[in-house]
């Protein structure tokens, strides 16, 4: 038996993240280093979770109202109380005592420390179907006794719980961005792909078209298109019409990215090789080119969603976007129509806070993804 050199001395140990890992491993490794991006991603996942199961997370249902608590201010949550024998844990809020001010015609609310309302986790409440098919009546948190006033973020004009409504609003507001971007993406990939692949006069014309669409002031046009939706159209159709309106002007940035990637990649060696191997254009696009710029597309998509959310909120706020009974953050903000209302009930702006958090998180996530989309630089 002859001696052979130990193989371990010849083969260099594969280094992590140095060209031996797959594309997506590298993308993930680079993304993980972008802390704000990761934090944004976590918030975005939580927001979509809220959008998936608002019935469970909200203390009361969307329809619950009580005119007796019109514009009730937020209740403070107390974690426990001193019952003479020492402090005991037992979260509770205090009930309201109301008094009508005959000068302004408004109710004045004060809390009543004599009547605590116990608050618990996984309490029983209105029955509903979780995710649309699991019948239950448990809510994540709420008053232990059903029907007690529980307005931890205040109430609106009709005495509806702002917190519950904001939680329900996530469903429409978070998905309208997704649906709108999905539509824009289809338009963007089609038009940008044609532009980048065909080139020449077609490319030139499409580029001029994109420049033109981008130079049109979008909000007046959005208002114009949205105002054209008749009042008689059912709410669900309004939802889809609004997403179409948003994507009519929203596809251009996606088309730009797709075209840019196609142009850059058309002359790459691996595309040439595939063409010489006799692949058809469809196979080249979907099997060879698309996987290598998918990460870029995901980044652009996540940066396009916040714009859609902001646009929907603004249109709905102006009363020409979505309308009740659909509940989105913009529809909820309609309650805060003038300064006097806001001055007397600033908690009506809570849905606006939800918009800001969602948009910030999506922007951070998009920034992180954009940096990670090209893991080979740097």
Partner 1 sequence: MGSFVLRRILYAIPALIAVSLISFLVIAVPPGDYVDRLAETNAAKGDIMPIAEQEALRQAYGLDQPLMVQYWNWISAVVARGDFGYSFSYNLPVKDVIWPRLGLTVVLSIASLLFIWVAAIPVGIYSAVRRYSAGDYLFTFLGFLGLAIPNFLLALAAMYIAFAWFGHNVGGLFSPEFVEAPWSWARVLDLLNHLWLPMIVLGTAGTASVIRVIRANLLDELHKPYVTAARAKGMGEFGLLMKYPVRHALNPFVSGQNDIFVDIVSGGTIVAIVMGLQTTGPILLEALRTQDMYMAASFILMLSVLVVIGTLLSDVLLAWLDPRIRHQQG
Q: Which parts of this chain interact with partner 1 (CB under 8 A)?
A: 212, 214-221, 223-225, 227-228, 230, 306, 310, 313-314, 317-318, 320, 333, 336, 339-340, 342-343, 346, 349, 352, 355-356, 359-360, 363-364
Instruction: Give 110 or 233: the residue with its C-beta nearer to partner 1.
Output: 233
Q: Which is nearer to partner 1, 285 or 349 (CB)?
A: 349
Burial environment of residue 29 by CB neighbours within 10 A (0 to 12, 13 to 18, 19 or more): middle
CB of residue 346 to partner 1, shortest distance in Å: 7
Q: Which is nearer to partner 1, 148 or 341 (CB)?
A: 341
Select 178 or 360, whichever has its Cβ closest to partner 1.
360
C-beta atoms surrounding 45 within 10 Å: 12
Q: In terms of CB distance, is 42 or 219 closer to partner 1?
A: 219
Nearest CB to partner 1, comparing residues 164 and 334 = 334
In whole angstroms, the minimum distance from the beta carbon of 82 to partner 1 comes to 35
Beta carbon of residue 353, minimum distance to partner 1 (angstroms, whole number): 9
Q: CA-to-CA distance for 300 and 181, rounded, in angstroms?
A: 10
Helices (H), the chain: 7-10, 23-33, 35-52, 54-57, 162-198, 200-215, 218-227, 235-250, 252-266, 269-276, 281-283, 290-317, 329-333, 339-344, 350-373
β partners of residue 87: 82
Nearest by Cα to 372 from 5, 32, 118? 32
Min separation Cβ 311 and partner 1, Å: 9
Minimum CB–partner distance for residue 189 and partner 1 (Å): 23
> For residues 361 and 44, what is the distance between their CA atoms, to the nearest angstrom?
6
Quote the CA–CA distance of 162 and 240 in Å, as a whole number: 26
- Cα dihedral across residues 184, 266, 268, 377: positive or negative: negative
Residue with smaller CB distance to partner 1, 47 or 271: 47
Radius of gyration of the CA atoms of the chain, in A: 27
Smallest separation (angstroms) from partner 1 to the CB of 339: 5
Three-point CA angle 195, 199, 200, nearest 5°: 125
Let me know if 203 is exposed, middle or buried by CB neighbors in 10 A (0-12, 13-18, 19+): middle
CB of 345 to partner 1, least distance (A): 11
First to last CA, the chain: 48
Cβ proximity to partner 1, 60 vs 336, nearer residue:
336
Residue closer to partner 1 by CB (options 51, 355) is 355
Nearer to partner 1, 274 or 349 (CB): 349
Smallest distance, Å, CB 350 to partner 1?
11
Q: Say which DSSP state 161 is in.
A: B
Instruction: Supply the angle between the helices 350-373 and 35-52 in degrees, to the nearest 10.
Output: 130
Nearest-approach distance from CB 182 to partner 1, in angstroms: 22
Question: Which whole-number Å values give the CA distances from 110 to 68, 94, 95, 115, 122, in the listed order?
Answer: 13, 9, 8, 12, 28
Q: How far is the CB of 257 from partner 1 (least distance, A)?
A: 16
């Amino acid at each position: 038996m002859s001696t052979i050199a130990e193989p371990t001395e010849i083969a260099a140990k594969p280094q992590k993240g140095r060209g031996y890992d797959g594309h997506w491993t590298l993308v993930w490794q680079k993304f993980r280093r972008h802390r704000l991006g990761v934090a944004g991603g976590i918030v975005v996942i939580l927001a979509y979770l809220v959008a998936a199961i608002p019935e469970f997370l909200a203390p009361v249902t969307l329809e619950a109202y009580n005119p007796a608590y019109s514009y009730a201010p937020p209740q403070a949550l107390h974690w426990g109380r001193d019952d003479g024998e020492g402090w005991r844990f037992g979260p509770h809020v205090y009930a309201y005592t109301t008094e009508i001010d005959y000068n302004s015609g408004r109710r004045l609310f004060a809390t009543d420390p004599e009547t605590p309302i116990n608050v618990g986790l996984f309490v029983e409440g209105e029955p509903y179907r979780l995710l649309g098919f699991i019948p239950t009546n448990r809510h994540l948190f709420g008053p232990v006794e059903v029907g007690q006033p529980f307005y931890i973020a205040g109430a609106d004009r009709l005495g509806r719980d702002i917190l519950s409504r904001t939680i329900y609003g996530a469903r429409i507001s978070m998905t309208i961005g997704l649906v709108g971007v999905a539509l824009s993406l289809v338009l963007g990939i089609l038009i940008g792909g044609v532009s980048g692949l065909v080139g020449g006069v077609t490319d030139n014309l499409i580029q001029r078209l994109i420049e033109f669409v981008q130079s049109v002031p979008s909000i007046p046009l959005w208002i114009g298109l949205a105002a054209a939706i008749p009042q008689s159209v059912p709410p669900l159709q309004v939802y889809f019409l609004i997403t179409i309106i948003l994507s009519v002007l929203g596809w251009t940035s996606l088309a730009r990215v797709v075209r840019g990637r196609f142009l850059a990649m058309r002359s790459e060696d691996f595309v040439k090789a595939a063409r010489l191997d006799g692949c058809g254009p469809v196979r080249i696009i979907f099997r060879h080119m698309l996987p290598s710029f998918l990460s870029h597309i995901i980044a652009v998509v996540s940066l396009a969603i916040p714009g859609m959310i902001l646009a929907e909120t603004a249109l709905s706020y102006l009363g020409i976007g979505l309308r009740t009974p659909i509940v989105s953050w913009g529809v909820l903000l309609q309650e805060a129509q003038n300064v006097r209302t806001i001055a007397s009930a600033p908690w009506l702006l809570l849905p606006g806070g939800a918009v800001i958090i969602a948009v910030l998180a999506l922007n951070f996530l998009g920034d992180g993804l954009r940096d990670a989309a090209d893991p080979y630089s740097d």
